[in-house]
Amino acid sequence: MILRVEDLAKYFGEVRAVDHITFGIDSGTITSIVGPNGAGKTTLINLISGALKPDSGDIYYNNINIKGMPPYKISKLGIGRSFQIPHIYLNLTTLDNVLVSLYSIKGLTRSMVRDSYSFKDELSRAEAILNMFGLLEKKDMYVYELPHGDRKLLDIAMAFALNPKLVLLDEPTSGVSSREKRRVMKIVDDAIREQGVTALIVEHDMDIVFSYSDKIIVMHQGKIIAEGVPDEIKGDKTVESVLLGGET
Amino acid sequence: MGRRVSIGGVGYLLSTLPLFILNGLFYAATLFLIASGLTIIFSVAGILNLAHGAIFMLGAYLATLTMLTGDIRLIIITFIIVPFIIGLIGLGIERGLIKWVYDRESEYQLLLTYGLSLVLADLVRMMFGPQPISASFLLRESGVIDILGVTYPVYNLIVIVVALFVGLLLWLFLDRTRLGWIVRACSFDREMSSALGVNVGLIYAFTFFLGSALGGLAGALIVPSTVAMLGMDVNALIESFIVIVIGGLGSIRGAFIGSIIVGLVRSFGIYFFPRYELAFIYIIMAVVLLIRPRGLFGREYRRV
Amino acid sequence: MHILRSIPKEYYIPISLGLLFLFLISFPLIASRYLIFLLSLALIYAIWALGYNFLFGYTGLLSFGHAAYLGVGAYTVGLLIARVGIKSFEILFLAAVLTSLGISALIGYLCVKYTEVYFALLTLAFGEFFYALAFKLYDITGGSDGVSVPYPYLFGYLMDTKLLYYVVAVLFVILLYFAWKVVNSPFGKTLQAIREDPVKAEFVGIHVKRYQWYSFILSGVYSGIAGALYAPLFAHIYPDLFHWTTSGEVLFVTLIGGHRMFLGPVLGAIIYAFLRSYITAYTIYWPFVLGLSVAVIALIFPNGIIGSAYSFIKERYFSKTVVSK
C-alpha cells in the first residue's frame, strides 16, 4: 500500500470536515474521490499533501508517517499535487514553470551562477514532460497567455515533473468545457500510465470517474460512505441519492 | 544598568511605582485608540493603512489650533470635531484612492498608502512648520490629584477613562449592534458578506471613517499632555503595529491588552533604561513573532 | 545593422559589459569633478537598487526598511575608520559586507516568517529601530552629529574622489554581471517562482521561507556594499541614512525604473541621482514629491515609468512587425 490513512480527522470549529476516516491505496492504481460539495474531499487532499495539519489520525506514505510534515518536505518525498484553481507561475514561460520543479527535485535550486538553460538533461526532460501534456509548442509562451485548459494541464505537469510516486489531483477537469474534459483526462491518464504513478483524483464528472478509476471512494459530510470498484459503486442506491441529492 | 537602583532606591522605586504604571496606562490609552483604528481597517477592508500614523499626527496638529486659544468650550468641542474631520479625511482617502486598489496585489496597496503617508506628513510640515507645537493649556487647567500616593495630572487620568469608555463603546458596537455584526462579518469573509447582499463598499468606507476617527481622537487627546511634533506618525504606526502583533490581528481585546503591555514596558523602560527602552518593545515583538505568530488573540493566519 | 545581427547571442552580454566598462573607465577623462561625484552616486544607488530588486522585483517581497543595510554598511566603514583608525579600504569593505550580511540574516530571518503586509511593516519597524539606535548610542555613533569619514586608502593609495569613482565603477560592473547571472540561474528562477506563486513553489519541494531568506540576505549584502561606498563618497554620514525616507528612496528608484525589468532599477538610479540635486534645489518638501510619485506609480504605472514606456514601445514596434508580415 503506497498510501494509508488511519482515523484521520480535521475540524474547523464545530464542523467535521474530515471525520475519522480510514482507507488505503494500492500502488499503481487510480483512485477517485467523489462526493457532494463540502464532503471534505479537498480537505483530505490538503491533509495528505501537508497544507493542513490533522487534528487526529495518521497518514502513511510508503510506511512513513507524513502527518504534520510541511508541504515542501512531502513533495520531496515523492507526492505531487495539483489544484482546483491552477497554481502556476503566470509571469514565467511554460518551460520555466516545469523547469523550476525539476531544479527543485534535482537539488539545483542553490545554483546561482550557471544559466538556467545550461542544464541540458533537465531541459530535455522538461520538454519531454511538456510534450506529454501537449504543451510543447507553447513552451516559450508566458503562462498568462495560456487558456484555462492548458493552465490546468501545466499545473499537473509541474507536479509530474517531480517524478512523483503518488499524485493528488484536485478536480483536474473542472472549469474546462465538456469537450475539453475528455482530452484533458486522456492526457492525464496517459501520463499516469507512462510514468507509473499512483493517482488519487478528486472528481465531479461521474462519466470520467467510471471510465478511468480502478477504485472509487465516496465521501459525504467528512465520512467515507462507500468504497469499491466502479461496478460496485454504480449500483449502490445510497451513493446515488447522496451524489444526486447532496444532503441526507 | 540595574545598578541605578541602590538599596535606599528600592524604597524610591516602590513609592514611584504608581507613577510608572499611570504613565504606562496613559500611553496605553492613546495607543489603544490608534491600534484599534488600524486593526479595524486592516481586518475589515484588508488594507494596512500605512498612512494611519500620519492621520493620527494630523489629528494632533489640528487639535493644537483650538487648544492654543485657551477657550475651554472650544477645546472640549475639539475632541468631537477633530475625530470627525479626521474620519472624513479617512473616508475621502478610501473613496478617492484606496478603492482603486482593492483588487490589486498587496504590494500596490502598501505602496499607495506609503506614498500617502509621506504626502500627508509633509503636508503637515507645510502647514504647521517643522517645530513641535505645545498646547498644554488643558493639562494645566485640569490640575493634579493625589492618587496611589503620587501626584498625577488629572488630564491624563481623564484620557485613560475616555479611552476605556471609547473601548467599551467600540466593543458594544461590534458585539451588540446590527451594523457592528455586519462589520465583523465582512472582516471574516468578504465574499460571503457580499453574497448575502451587504454593500461591502459602504462598509469599507464606514470602516475607514471609524478607524481614522479613532486615530484622530487619539491625536487630539495626546496634545495637551505632550507636544505635536513631526515624526510622531512613524512612531505611532510602528508602535500600533507592534500592539497588533502582540495582541493579534482583528481583535479589539488584543489591541487592549497589547497596548497595555507596550505602554507599561515603554514606561518602565524610559524610567530605568532610557537608552535602551526602545529595545524592550522590539524584543517583546520579536519574541511574540517567534513563539506565537498570531498574537495573543489573533485568528489563525492562513498558511495556504 | 547587419554587423550587429551577425554577432552570436552568447557574446551580447560580455560585449555590452565590456563597452560599459570602457565607458565608465574613460568617463573621468572628460568629466568634471562634480559629474564624477554624481556618477559615483548614481552607481552606488544602482548597486543598492539592484540588490533591493532581488527582494522586491524577483522575490516579490516589499521592504520598507532597506535603508538599514545601507546604513549598516556605511556606519561600519565610518566607525571603523573614524573611531578605530582602520584606513585600508580592503578591510573596511570586507567588514561592511560581513556586518550587513549578519544583520540582514538576523532581521531577514524574523521578517520572512511573515508575508506581504506583516513583512512590510516588520521591515519598516526594524529600519526605524536602527534609526533610533544611531541616535541613542551617541557615544559610539556620534548621535545626530553623525560620523566624519576621512579618505580611506586602497592598497596604499589615497581614495580620493577619482579613485573612489574607479572602485565604484569596477564594483558596479562586477555586481551587475553577478546579478545578471543570479537572476538567470536556477536560484533566480526559483525566486521568481516564489514571487509568482508561493503556494505552488512550496508544493514542488521548494522551502519557500528559506529561499526568501537567502534573497533577503543577498539584497542586504548589496545594500551594505552600497553603504560602504556611500560613506567615503559623502565624507560624513548621519543617522538619517536609516530613516524611512531613505528606504523610500531605493523603493522610488526601483519603481521609476521598473521593478519587472532587470536594468530598470539601474536606469532609475541614474535618473534619480541626477534629478535629485535639481529637485532638492527647488523644494525642501522632498518627502511630498517622493510620496506623490510612489502613490501615482502604484495607481497608474505599476510597471514603473520606464517599464511602462518600454512595454508601450514594445507593443507599438511589435504590432508593426506583425502587421507588415
In Å, how far are A97, C212, C228, C284 from C47, measured between CA atoms? 29, 20, 11, 26
Q: Are residues C248 and B114, on separate chains, in Cβ contact within 8 Å?
A: yes
At B103-138, the pLDDT tens digits run 887 888 888 999 999 999 999 999 999 999 988 877
Task: In whole angstroms, give the CA distance from residue A146 to residue A154.
Answer: 10
Chain B residues within 8 Å of chain A (Cβ atoms) = 303-304
Q: How many residues does chain C have?
A: 325
Q: Are residues B245 and C60, on separate chains, in Cβ contact within 8 Å?
A: no
What mean pLDDT do residues B57-83 have?
87
Chains in contact with B, counting 3 or more C-beta pairs less than 8 Å apart as contact: A, C
pLDDT higher than threshold 70 for residue B301:
no
Query: Of A104, A110, A111, which has the smallest distance from its Cβ to C204's Cβ?
Result: A104
Q: Are residues A112 and C187, on separate chains, in Cβ contact within 8 Å?
A: yes
Name the residue of chain C whose CA is nearest to A117's CA: C185
- In chain A, residues with a C-beta closer than 8 Å to the C-beta of B304 are 46, 51-52, 71
In Å, how far are A12, B143, B296, C179 from B300, measured between CA atoms? 11, 46, 11, 38
Confidence of residue C20 (pLDDT cuts 50, 70, 90): confident
What are C12's three cell numbers? 551580447
- In chain B, residues with a C-beta closer than 8 Å to the C-beta of C117 are 42, 48, 106, 110
What mean pLDDT do residues C38-67 have?
94
* CB neighbours of residue C175 within 10 Å: 19
Which among A234, A235, A230 is positioned nearest to A29, based on CA atoms? A230
At C212-260, the pLDDT tens digits run 999 999 999 999 999 999 999 999 999 989 988 899 899 989 988 888 8
- In chain A, residues with a C-beta closer than 8 Å to the C-beta of C181 are 112-115
Q: Which amino acid is at C11?
A: Y
DSSP state of A146: S
Whole-angstrom Cα Rg for chain B: 20
Query: Of A92, A111, A155, which has the smallest distance from its Cβ to C192's Cβ?
Result: A92
Confidence of residue B10 (pLDDT cuts 50, 70, 90): low
DSSP state of C80: I
pLDDT higher than threshold 90 for residue C72:
yes
Task: In whole angstroms, give the CA distance from residue C95 to residue C79.
Answer: 11
Q: Are residues A87 and C187, on separate chains, in Cβ contact within 8 Å?
A: no
* CB neighbours of residue C325 within 10 Å: 5
- In chain A, residues with a C-beta closer than 8 Å to the C-beta of B303 are 51
- Orientation of helix A178-195 relative to helix A148-160, angle to 10°: 10
Q: Are residues C110 and B275, on separate chains, in Cβ contact within 8 Å?
A: no
Chains in contact with C, counting 3 or more C-beta pairs less than 8 Å apart as contact: A, B
Q: Are residues C292 and B119, on separate chains, in Cβ contact within 8 Å?
A: yes
Identify the pLDDT of residue B7.
46
Identify the pLDDT of residue A75.
92
Query: Of C116, C124, C287, which has the smallest distance from its Cβ to B122's Cβ?
Result: C287
Which of C13, C174, C189 is the best mutation test for A, with the most CBs of A within 10 A? Answer: C189
Question: Chain C closest CA to B245's CA: distance in Å?
Answer: 9
Identify the pLDDT of residue C62.
93
* CB neighbours of residue A151 within 10 Å: 22
Share of residues in chain C with pLDDT > 70 (%) = 94
Burial class (CB in 10 A: 0-12, 13-18, 19+), B173: middle
Q: Are residues B118 and C129, on separate chains, in Cβ contact within 8 Å?
A: no
Burial class (CB in 10 A: 0-12, 13-18, 19+), B217: buried
3-state secondary structure of B151: strand
Tell me if chain C has a CB within 8 Å of the CB of B264.
no
Which of C55, C62, C246, C256 is the best mutation test for B, with the most CBs of B within 10 A? Answer: C62
Tell me if chain C has a CB within 8 Å of the CB of B292.
no
At B242-263, the pLDDT tens digits run 898 888 877 888 899 999 999 9
Confidence of residue B191 (pLDDT cuts 50, 70, 90): low
Degrees to nearest 5, angle at CA B167 with B164 and B168: 90
Query: Of C132, C293, C296, which has the smallest distance from its Cβ to B278's Cβ?
Result: C132
Q: Pairing relation of β-strands A223-228 and B133-134? A: unpaired
Q: C199-203: which pairs have CB atoms within 8 A and are 24 or more residues apart? A: C199/A83, C199/A87, C199/B304, C200/A83, C200/A87, C200/A88, C200/A89, C200/A155, C200/A158, C201/A100, C202/A70, C202/A71, C202/A72, C202/A75, C202/B304, C203/A49, C203/A71, C203/A72, C203/A75, C203/A80, C203/A81, C203/A87, C203/A159
B115 close to C298: Cβ distance less than 8 angstroms: yes
Which of C180, C203, C262 is the best mutation test for A, with the most CBs of A within 10 A? Answer: C203
At C146-199, the pLDDT tens digits run 898 999 998 888 888 889 999 999 999 999 999 999 999 999 999 999 999 999
In Å, how far are B146, B211, B270 from B22, measured between CA atoms? 12, 26, 13
Give the residue extent of every domain in chain C.
2-324
B90 close to B205: Cβ distance less than 8 angstroms: no
Identify the pLDDT of residue C324.
37
Identify the pLDDT of residue B299.
59
Tens digits of pLDDT across chain A (248 residues): 889 999 999 998 888 889 899 999 999 899 999 988 878 899 999 999 999 999 999 999 998 999 989 999 999 999 999 999 999 999 999 999 999 999 999 988 888 888 889 889 999 999 999 999 989 999 999 999 999 989 999 999 999 999 999 999 999 988 888 888 888 888 989 988 888 899 999 998 888 888 899 999 999 888 888 888 888 888 777 777 777 764 44
Tell me if chain B has a CB within 8 Å of the CB of A51.
yes
Identify the pLDDT of residue A66.
92
Identify the pLDDT of residue B11.
64
Chain A residues within 8 Å of chain C (Cβ atoms) = 49, 70-72, 75-76, 80-81, 83, 87-92, 96-97, 99-101, 103-105, 108-116, 119, 155, 158-159, 161-162
Tell me if chain B has a CB within 8 Å of the CB of A42.
no
Query: Of A87, A99, A108, which has the smallest distance from its Cβ to C200's Cβ?
Result: A87
The architecture of the domain spanning C2-324 is Orthogonal Bundle (1.10)
Q: Are residues C295 and B111, on separate chains, in Cβ contact within 8 Å?
A: yes
Query: Of C113, C244, C285, which has the smallest distance from its Cβ to B289's Cβ?
Result: C113
Question: Chain A closest CA to B67's CA: distance in Å?
Answer: 51
Q: Are residues C255 and B106, on separate chains, in Cβ contact within 8 Å?
A: no
What are A109's three cell numbers? 535550486
